[in-house]
Amino acid sequence: MLLFSSLISGLLAVSAEIQFNKPKIKQDELLIITCELSGFQADAKVRILREKEQILLSEGGNGNAFGSWQISGQGVSKQASTSDMAEYKCVADDSAGNFAFTERALIVLVPPSIPSIVQPSDKKLIVGKAGELVCMAEGSPPPSYTWYKQDQATGVTLKLPADARTNARSFPNSQFTVDQNIVKFLNVTESDAGEYWCEARNEAGTSTGEPVFVGVGSLNIASVVGIVFAVIFGVALIGIIAFVIFKKVTGADSDSYMGENEVFDDEGNDVAMGESYDPYEHHKGTNRQDISHVV
């Protein structure tokens, strides 16, 4: 029992804690990763791994760094990048049989890129129909979004609420909801026209997009006419293809029939149009009995 207690005490006495100079670090800042040991012998072997990739191997205080990492005191360092956002592990053991490890996640902060409205591509909504505005930006962690609109009548900038129907004073006749980077119009009205833009924000910073005018209108007559003509053209093309195929099939049968008849006619013409064929001339010198026999 005493031996077991001593063993447990020994195991609890050693530790290998992985440390970041900043647990959440911005892109391009200096990143330093160390492994703080406690209770190990001087000959302790220390390894720091990123996922399964070894980035530091240290034995007795002498370390080697791998890849783009550099030795920094008892750890490694480099300029932080998005690829460094991963799970890191510190593993340590020594000649006395002590062993310990810990792991910890590093977050690399990247400010949002300038957001832009990507849908609808033509920046137009159809009156009386449902529609959407979609804003996109890149960042780490993924950004949250805020939408704005400039009132056409007053020129005042308005922040879009989660549901326009709860703010009829600022958005009369509008029926839309906001879900992060998407504005969903339940039924587009004339009052929904105007300049829209979005703001993307995360722990690393904030970016604001350029205002974009989103127009509204009825279904384009030219588009309808174009669709109708496209349908008519498609039907006509199918008809022409079917007719050509039919002609080819029936034409092949006719050619086959004519070919057979031409052979028959040629044989007939050969008999009729040959050199003066006189059966009597052929049978000159034969007697009546022979002729009768032939007949």
Q: How many Cα atoms are found within 13 Å in the side-chain-facing hemisphere of 199?
A: 11
- Statement to judge: residues 21 and 92 lie in one domain: yes
Kindly report the pTM of this predicted structure: 0.61
Residues of the domain holding 45: 15-109
End-to-end CA distance of the chain: 137
Count of structural domains within the chain:
2
DSSP line for 231-267? HHHHHHHHHHHHHHHHHHHHHHHHHHHHHHHHHHHHH
Which residues lie closer than 8 Å to 274 by C-beta, 6 or more apart? none
Average pLDDT score, the chain: 82
- Statement to judge: residues 120 and 209 lie in one domain: yes
Range in 21-30, 192-201, 206-215, 240-249 the model is least confident about: 240-249
- Statement to judge: residues 98 and 127 lie in one domain: no
Establish if 167 belongs to a structural domain: yes
Beta bridge partners of 23: none
- Statement to judge: residues 41 and 128 lie in one domain: no
Q: What type of residue is 186?
A: L
Q: How confident is residue 227, by pLDDT bands cut at 50, 70 and 90?
A: low
23 vs 200, residue with greater confidence: 200
- Statement to judge: residues 125 and 85 lie in one domain: no
- Statement to judge: residues 99 and 63 lie in one domain: yes
Q: What type of residue is 172?
A: P
CATH number at residue 131: 2.60.40.10
Domain end, chosen from 186, 217, 248, is at: 217
pLDDT in tens, 182-191: 999 999 999 9
Q: How far apart are CA 272 and CA 266, in angstroms?
A: 10
Give the alpha-carbon dihedral of 96, 46, 23, 107, to 10 degrees. -130
pLDDT of residue 228: 55
Long-range pairs for 223-230 at CB < 8 Å and ≥24 separation?
none
- Statement to judge: residues 97 and 129 lie in one domain: no
Whether residue 225 is predicted with pLDDT greater than 70 in this model: the reply is no
Range in 98-112, 230-244, 266-280 the model is least confident about: 266-280
- Statement to judge: residues 123 and 63 lie in one domain: no
Q: How confident is residue 269, by pLDDT bands cut at 50, 70 and 90?
A: very low
- Statement to judge: residues 153 and 175 lie in one domain: yes
- Statement to judge: residues 104 and 123 lie in one domain: no
Domain end, chosen from 217, 234, 260, is at: 217
- Statement to judge: residues 72 and 159 lie in one domain: no
pLDDT of residue 238: 85
pLDDT of residue 10: 47
Establish if 186 belongs to a structural domain: yes
Establish if 244 belongs to a structural domain: no
pLDDT of residue 273: 42
Range in 49-53, 123-127, 191-195, 229-233 the model is least confident about: 229-233
Whether residue 282 is predicted with pLDDT greater than 80 in this model: the reply is no
- Statement to judge: residues 120 and 213 lie in one domain: yes
Domain end, chosen from 73, 88, 109, is at: 109
Establish if 124 belongs to a structural domain: yes
Whether residue 68 is predicted with pLDDT greater than 90 in this model: the reply is yes
